[in-house]
Amino acid sequence: MTKFLLAVHVIAAIVAVGPVTVAASLFPPAARKVLAEPGDAQALAITRLLHRICRVYATVGVVVPVFGFATASNMGVLGDAWLITSIVLTALAAVVLAALVLPRQSALLEGPGDRAATVRLAMFTGIFNLLWATVTVLMIVRPGSTTGA
């Protein structure tokens, strides 16, 4: 059962978190293009699509920690420091996405923004991506790993 839960957890992370990190990273440059060329309907459509991808996959991404907790429980590692650190970083990444990235994307789509707003958004997106990268590394090289790494 642990292998099944772990497989679902990893697949969910790849399928759900991957698109959010890519789409969120592509959004600030796309928004800058919309600001530079306000009449460019294609650039606006691309920016809206990237925002929708971020929103939808952020919602789907809830599956990742659900199966992560189930896997950790089955493995008996819920109290391990590497896992607690991963949980905290995952929660922080979720807060950054929900409170800083998605609302700023919405604001840029709804009204006139400026280049500074896209720069701040890019910074928050980078923080979000860095948090997820750190969690990924912790999951791969966790203390006590049976992979021999």
User: 133 or 146: whose pLDDT is higher?
Assistant: 133
Q: 59 pLDDT exceeds 90? A: yes
pLDDT on residue 141: 87
pLDDT on residue 53: 98
pLDDT on residue 113: 83
Q: What is the pLDDT of residues 4-35, one digit of tens each?
A: 999 999 999 999 999 999 999 999 999 999 99
Task: Give the pLDDT mean for 77-88.
Answer: 92
Tokens 């923004």 -> residue = 113
All structural domains of the chain with their residue ranges: 2-140
Q: What is the pLDDT of residues 85-118, one digit of tens each?
A: 999 999 999 999 999 999 999 999 998 789 999 9
pTM: 0.92
